[in-house]
Structure 1
Amino acid sequence: MTSTDLPDRRTSGPTPRGLRIRGATRADRTELAGLLRGLSLESSYRRFQTGLGPEPPPAVLDALLPEGLRGAAVLAYVGSALVGHGLWVRAGATPVAEIGLIVADDHQGRGIGTALARGLMADLGAHGVERVEVFASVTNEPVIRMVRRQAPDAVAEPDGATVTYSFAIPVLARAVRPVA
């Protein structure tokens, strides 16, 4: 992944200056646990559909740091502070992957999630993934707004209190290999 100062498409302003996005590894478990511990109950529920408790379970940390052909994770920093996490996980042997994002409460609404999603899209395309799925609660307005803005052709499949959005990765993203 590359560092980025991407402009944000929202009217509220640009992505924070100095935002840096990099690939994550298992060595980032402790730092990622700190980000998750700092989440409000609302943010935790929006991302995981449950509360994580005072200490993120080891299995959750393992799942959030996939490696190899199965998936990948990225971390977002403003200065030296970890402020976001994103990942993609392949859906079996298909060219489809699910993505998930989390941004620290005090950094939400600044375009960091959108920048994480863009970094993930470039990585997905380089790994032969053609379609993306985003699973969210129907009340998760930040995710719904981002999908509508960034993937206006996404197909929404509601299922009770949740919705899954599905959309194709832009052809350009499939042709570009991200810089490590």
Structure 2
Amino acid sequence: MNQTQTRPPLVRRAGEPDADELARMLSRLTDLSRYFRFQTAIGSPPREALLLRMLCPAGAAFVATREDTIVGHAMWAWAPGDTTAELAAIIGEEEQRRGLGIRMLSIAAADAISAGATHFLFVVSAANERSIRMVRRRWPEATVERDGTLLTFVAPARLPDQPEERPNVVDKQVGSLQRGEVTAAGELRPMDDVVPAL
């Protein structure tokens, strides 16, 4: 492993200028990873409209980068309901199972809470056992409903590693991002949790 790979990715807010690099990351994913995230074919390269929805949602989007290469994406967007935010993330194959997904979901969750979210929504393929375990482990109080091959989880809005939302933790997460990039070092370790396929 070279020195560049040992440095943790940096997480920052995403925007339209990230479209080409995000398209490259999505195109390098396996068909199964893309299916678990989108529940449909997205094409390779993905359509511009999809990229713009991922980068400029009705909420906020974040990317993780190594050098200038995007290795992860997370977002939140307002869902039906006054204060429900849907959380979603996707991580490059080489970065999966190392905690980056949880780190990015924590950042997205903190941002959504600071915007007023009181509940989180996760839509997960019933075949995506790792993501289902992650949601149940990190948000054990979540309720779940099944609709065909999809499971819809609704949980109280809190950070995935906190028993309840603590304002000082949320303020620290959001404040770090407002100052620019933050390192993902605190979460990078081998683990079974992967990002929800939403």
Q: TM-score, normalised by structure 2?
A: 0.76
Q: Which moved more, 1:141-150 or 1:126-135?
A: 141-150
More relative contact order, 1 or 2 (CA 8 Å, 6+ apart)? 2
Contact 1:96 1:131 in 2 (8 A): yes
Instruction: Note if 1:50 corresponds to 2:44.
Output: no
Contact 2:79 2:121 in 1 (8 A): no
Instruction: Note if 1:103 corresponds to 2:91.
Output: yes
**Structure 1 residues 99-154: Cα deviation after superposition (integer angstroms, max 9, x where no partner):** 11101112211111111110111101110011000001001122112112211111
SS of aligned partner of 2:154: strand
Task: Structure 2: state its 5+ residue gaps.
Answer: 1-5, 159-164, 179-198
Aligned AA (2:84): V
Q: How many residues align?
A: 163
Contact 1:136 1:143 in 2 (8 A): yes
SS of aligned partner of 1:144: helix
Contact 1:130 1:174 in 2 (8 A): no
SS of aligned partner of 2:106: helix
| % identity of equivalent residues | 34
**In 2: Cα distance, 1:176 partner to 1:116 partner:** 13
- Partner of residue 176 from structure 1, selected from 153, 156, 170: 170
Task: Structure 1: state its 5+ residue gaps.
Answer: 1-15
Distance 1:101-1:93 versus aligned 2 partners, 3 A rule: same
Distance 1:149-1:109 versus aligned 2 partners, 3 A rule: same
**In 2: Cα distance, 1:111 partner to 1:17 partner:** 14
